[in-house]
Amino acid sequence: MPGDLHSRFAQSFARFADRTLVEMNGKAWTYAEIEALSARLAARLGELGVRPGERVLVQTGKSVETLLLYFAVVRSGAIYLPLNVDYTEAELEYFAADAGPVLAVCREGDEPLFERIGKGAVAVTTLAALFGNLPEQGAAPAPRAADDIAAILYTSGTTGKPKGAMLTNRNLVANGETLIDLWRFTLEDRLIHALPIFHVHGLFVAVHCVVFSGASMVFLEKFESSAVIDLMACSTVLMGVPTFYIRLLADARFTREAAANMRLFISGSAPLSADIHRAFEARSGHRVLERYGMTETGMLTSNPYEGERRAGYVGPPLPDVELRIADFETGKVLAQGEVGIVEVSGPNVFAGYWQMHEKTAAEFRPDGFFITGDMGFIDTDGSVQLVGREKDLIISGGLNVYPAEVEALLDDRADVAEAAVIGVPHPEFGEAVVAVVQPAGSFDADAVREEMRRDLAAFKVPKRIIVLGVLPRNTMGKIQKKLLREKYAGLFETPSSPPL
């Protein structure tokens, strides 16, 4: 197995040269065409001063040209730094100052914005400008070692400034090779790619599974259930977030017959409720394969391709991943079935946070295990169940409440579309359990609370249930609990006394 990412790409470019790699808007590109164009683009990057180890900041829409830019940056030995297209100027200014890129590639019309945030130290261009000046001769690949950084992805976390997770060539190659074996990817597969490509899920998991295996993919700019359903007749795999599967179930055209040609539906980036899991299987005949990963590690666990895919569980660790459950404060490894912090080690685990040595040191145990921040336990069959983030843990009256347990009970109800459980300050209990619910039809919050008392200890029952038409989400479909905690932070504040 090659140690660097470009060499692994090159294997597939040569082996599958005449096969289609990607399609978008009715046009197709072969592996050979993608390699030739990315080599010419790498030469153009060289003309703009991009050298091995330099950072290339990218905030562009989803397109084959953006994909080619990714391949070109890797070929150049530079570090690819993709950014969410929804980031604001203040956020972009922070990323540019922190990462110190030599080049920023932005959308047309955003050049003045990037010239401002770059403060004259960053060259600014667009995809159109890059592809309008491609040299005829492609650039030779820059030699890179397995432990050289290939990409930096910023992760916001729950507190403090965003952190740049440094992913090495080894991290990305190892995780991709493991996944194509685990999920049985072959050159016969055709992936419906409806995810963004500024994120681990859409860029590394989806694209690498396709390229490493010789498969093909259809790029959709965004998820639309009608377009996805139309593609199922000539496709085999869909990778998505829970929102995708919720929207498919809401579309009457999504039937067992519509999904007959598909072999695999994969879900990640946010928890898939057991209710949706069951409803999807009943409708389509397919049981969604849920997996677990994060920006810093790529994929860590996966439900099996063959065998039981358990609703609410994310499966056992990948073959090359060591995973344990530990006490967050002491680091003591806990027994099977005990809830604690998930810690991992393996070739997929990142090299640390960019220019944050103290933060990096704090996130690793002395024996090299990375502290994920996710709470969970390992069941008797070795499968992992997550119960929430360590920072999401609610301590009410000195007792621990794991949001996932309360959410599962709510999500299982016919009158609840989805729920988020948070802790908010309370004058008596320290924190109070609050559920924020997106209803599915008629909903009586007081009646629901009373019913929940039959299944939960009193301290776990939400002290308030708040009804929202739509739960706030980020671009990957994750419910933004931080926003909910901020919005309802004063829910239990005692009103000030009126003046005498």
Give the helix/strand (H/E) hosting 289: strand 289-294
Mean pLDDT to the nearest integer, 243-247: 89
For residue 359, what is the domain's CATH number?
A: 3.40.50.12780
Structure tokens at 93: 């200014």
What per-residue confidence (pLDDT) applies to 161?
A: 75
pLDDT higher than threshold 90 for residue 99: yes
pLDDT band, residue 403 (cuts 50/70/90): confident
Q: Is the pLDDT of residue 253 over 50?
A: yes
Does residue 379 sit in the same domain as residue 262? yes
Q: Does the residue 206 lie in any domain? A: no
Q: Let me know if residue 417 belongs to a domain.
A: yes
Give yes or no for a contact between 83 and 198, defined as CB atoms under 8 angstroms apart. Answer: yes
The pLDDT value recorded for residue 482 is: 84
The crossing angle, in degrees rounded to 10, of helices 445-452 and 403-411 is: 120
- Indicate whether 285 pLDDT > 50: yes
For residues 367 and 408, membership in a common domain is answered with no
Report the range of poorest mean pLDDT among 10-14, 136-140, 374-378, 429-433.
429-433
Provide the Cα torsion 146, 152, 153, 156; round to 10°: 120
Q: At 442, which CATH number?
A: 3.30.300.30
Assess whether 399 and 360 both reside in one domain. Answer: no
Do 260 and 333 lie in a common domain? yes
Last-in-domain residue among 123, 152, 177: 177
Cα 397 → chain centroid = 34
pLDDT of residue 272: 83
pLDDT(352) > 50: yes
Check whether residue 447 and residue 304 sit in a common domain: no
**Within a 13 Å sphere around the CA of 273, how many CA atoms are in the beta-carbon half?**
25
With tokens 């099996």, the residue in question is: 304
Q: Which of 145, 177, 209 is the last residue of a domain?
A: 177
Residue 482: exposed, middle, or buried by beta-carbon count in 10 A (0-12, 13-18, 19+)?
Answer: middle
Q: Which domain holds residue 426?
A: 393-487
Cα 188 to Cα 169: distance, rounded to the nearest angstrom: 26
**b/e map 3-22, b = 16+ CB within 10 Å:** bbbbbbbeebbeebeeebbb
Alpha helix stretches (DSSP H) within 316-381: 357-362
For residue 291, list its beta bridge partners. 302
pTM, to two decimals:
0.84
- Specify whether 25 is located in the same domain as 47: yes
Q: Are 365 and 377 part of one and the same domain?
A: yes
pLDDT at 495: 47
What are the residues whose beta carbons fall under 8 Å from the beta carbon of 255, sequence distance 6 or more? 283, 284
Number of domains in the chain: 3
Q: Which amino acid is at 58?
A: V
CA separation (Å) from 170 to 151, 189, 344, 415?
11, 25, 16, 47
Q: Is there a single domain that holds both residue 445 and residue 310?
A: no
Does 441 lie in the same domain as 365? Answer: no
Residue 207 lies in a domain: no
DSSP state of 336: T
Distances (CA, A) of 26 to 29, 35, 189, 337, 399: 10, 20, 18, 50, 57
Same domain, 282 and 301: yes
227: region left, alpha or beta (phi > 0 left; psi from -120 to 50 alpha): alpha
Task: Name residue 248's amino acid.
Answer: L
> Do 66 and 162 fall into the same domain?
yes
The string of DSSP letters for 194-231 reads -S-SSSIIIIIIIHHHHHHHT-EEEE-SS--HHHHHHH
Say which residues have a Cβ less than 8 Å from residue 91's Cβ, sequence separation at least 6. 162
Residue 170 has pLDDT above 90, yes or no: yes
**Alpha-helical segments (H) within 306-444:** 357-362, 403-411
Which comes out higher in pLDDT, residue 472 or 86? Answer: 472
Q: Would you call 447 helix, strand, or coil by DSSP?
A: helix
Q: Residue 498: what pLDDT?
A: 35
pLDDT of residue 496: 40
Query: 405 phi and psi, to 5 degrees?
Result: -65, -45
356/397 same-domain check:
no
Per-residue pLDDT band at 241 (split at 50, 70, 90): confident
Indicate the pLDDT class of residue 398, thresholds 50, 70 and 90.
Answer: low
- Asked if residue 97 has pLDDT above 90, the reply is yes
Please give the backbone phi and psi of residue 495, each rounded to the nearest 5 degrees, phi first: -60, 140
pLDDT category at 494 given cuts 50, 70, 90 is low
